[in-house]
Chain A
């Protein structure tokens, strides 16, 4: 728990920056609203106010600071508004409700986990192929790298539409996009891991006249475990990003991505921000889970976690 203090310090700094930013970000909206409620605003004319920056306007209207934190539709919601929205949609709604973030979270998470499983499996298979097959070694890696240079935002709608046209909808197309993002770190990590035994280790197995299969199960695979965990931690967060991106351009009606889009389109910034935070917390929890699994596994294997 040595890292607790630095982590809290960074969080406090971000929160402070956020709280301070709320005033200038929302000042124009606040001034308009104040004027409607007959509160004096400088300058008086709405057109004149547009000439000023948020900070400039804020300095002329210090009496409106408190109001910037309580707008119904702020440009930048304050932390407590997001917290309230999250409390409402996570704790107070039944999880079967379409307004529950837990419900939307599960929609995204299920696609994430399925895609991650597919991506990890595919990544490991490709890595084994690359390590054991010369032709695959020469051919697969450039394609794998090229695949990651295509913007996923451009590719995602194509995949969804194509799969939709052959009647595949819902969870699976999103999982495909998750898998597309998560297989790559697994391939890279596993190739490095499977190749990590040195010449002496390989010679030792030759002196035992071990078969290639024995070399794989007894040496290469266990040696790759620390590399695999590093890859899994990158892969799971990439999977979550993939699932959210897959929900964005396709008019999905459920999931974190759908919530972000709804908040954006209907001018409900709190909804967008709550979904954003929920997604970030989910990602952190998933990565944290793999860190724990890594530590447990490596300790059981007699290797100290790095």
Chain B
């Protein structure tokens, strides 16, 4: 752990008690995430990637081990509003306009009216939705709604962004486009991003660090520091380096299965 470490987990365990007995959602997870990293968590269903993200967010309480976010416990970090969280569904309030939805966290956190308006304009620009402030969610496509939900998570300037399969429900073309935009956004805002995904190309394309996980019990099987440059056009996905990283991720996923 260095000064630059934003999120640090050591020996993290989480066991859910269910009617069918205990479920090991996370077992002995060790991971350091540096400031400004783009970290993807990839693995099959039940590998604990979402659970780990929720632990970082203080939405789930680990049953063992240590985890710190910005040097605080996750719950303290949540109270300090240290992160923005993007869920798989956009989850916009249908009774609020796009602008109104983005103002939701700002109202809750007590920003002034003028500040709210200024921030709404700024984050709508960031996600390329300028001019849609007065539209209602049902007037937007699924991809645009998800961009609005990202804007909502960015509005209060937390320096960590946690994203739980944000593009999982969108089609491939929209997804490519949003991936590209997300990288640009990350470059401009220099946030630390935790990103859960099912997709190997998505993980490799976006990340500086790829965390490969496997299920039963949920654990980390490989951590890959990406050799790809920070500047990534979409066609980087045809380069030899990209394919090599994707191979290593696939091998990691397969290794996790052999253990079963």
Contacts and interface: CB of A to CB of B under 8 A. Distances in A.
Interface of A: 200-201, 203-210, 214, 218-219, 222-223, 225, 301-304
B138 A302 contact: yes
A304 B81 contact: no
Contacts of B138: 302, 304
A303 B78 contact: no
Interface residues of B, number: 26
B109 interface: yes
Interface in B56-83: 57-59, 78-79, 81, 83
Contact of B108 (A214, A223, A302): A214
Contacts of A203: 59, 85, 87
A302 B59 contact: no
Contact of B91 (A204, A218, A222, A225): A204
Interface stretch (B13-21, B93-101, B226-234): B93-101
B81 A222 contact: no
Name the prevailing secondary structure of the A interface residues.
helix
Contacts of A302: 94-97, 136-138
B105 A208 contact: yes
Contacts of A214: 108
B196 to A, nearest CB: 14
Nearest to A210: B108
A297 to B, nearest CB: 10
A210 to B, nearest CB: 5
Contacts of B136: 302
The 3 closest A-B pairs by CB, nearest first: A302-B136, A301-B95, A207-B85
Contacts of B58: 206
Nearest to B60: A203
B144 interface: no
B89 interface: yes
Nearest to A298: B95
A253 B82 CA distance: 69
Interface centre among B79, B89, B105 (most CB of A within 10 A): B105
8 contacts: A203-B59, A203-B87, A204-B87, A204-B91, A205-B108, A206-B58, A223-B93, A302-B97
Contacts of B94: 301-303
A219 B83 CA distance: 21
Contact of A219 (B78, B93, B109): B93
A301 B101 CA distance: 13
Contact of A209 (B78, B89, B97, B104): B78
Contacts of B57: 207
Contacts of A209: 78-79, 81, 108
